Amino acid sequence: MSPSPSSGFFDATVAGPNETWMIKIDSLFKPTPIVIGSQAEPYSRPREAPFPYGFRTMPPDLALRLLAEGEASAQGALRRSLLSVLGSEPVVPEQGGSYAQGPMILTGPEKGGLSQAQREVDAKLASEMRRLLKLRYPAYG
């Protein structure tokens, strides 16, 4: 995820093994933001994402220990436990299970490496987001 330098919206790229989606979000700071997206040509996973996004099984007591100990545990066993959860393979969540979701990576506004086709999808999504905002909020821009 990153702020869009040209449109003022937030951009997200969701890439899986078979497809990639580019998403525009009007704000990260509203409980119900306007979100639109489009399938795009494949996008390689950014270098700053050492772990693929997904759900991972997580012991409930680990989550409670992380919340209770906070930054004091950043150097110790809890950090190693959390890294082992992130390093595990993503799973399909089942009701009643305990899972960690992520990671989500918030990057800066510089989106290097977009192809021409991806830049065109990005521009169309920004244009459509402006149109939707004008429909919902007539005084918008």
CA distance 132 to 127: 9
Question: Where exactly are the structural domains of the chain?
Answer: 2-49+105-136, 54-102
The model's pLDDT over 14-70, given as tens digits with 9 standing for 90+, comes to: 877 678 889 999 988 888 899 999 998 876 555 555 677 788 888 888 877 776 765
CA distance 43 to 40: 8
Count Cβ neighbours within 10 Å for each residue of 91-102 and write b for 16 or more, e otherwise: eeeeeeeebbee
The model's pLDDT over 89-111, given as tens digits with 9 standing for 90+, comes to: 888 999 998 888 877 766 776 65
CA distance 107 to 18: 23
* pLDDT exceeds cutoff 90 at 140: no
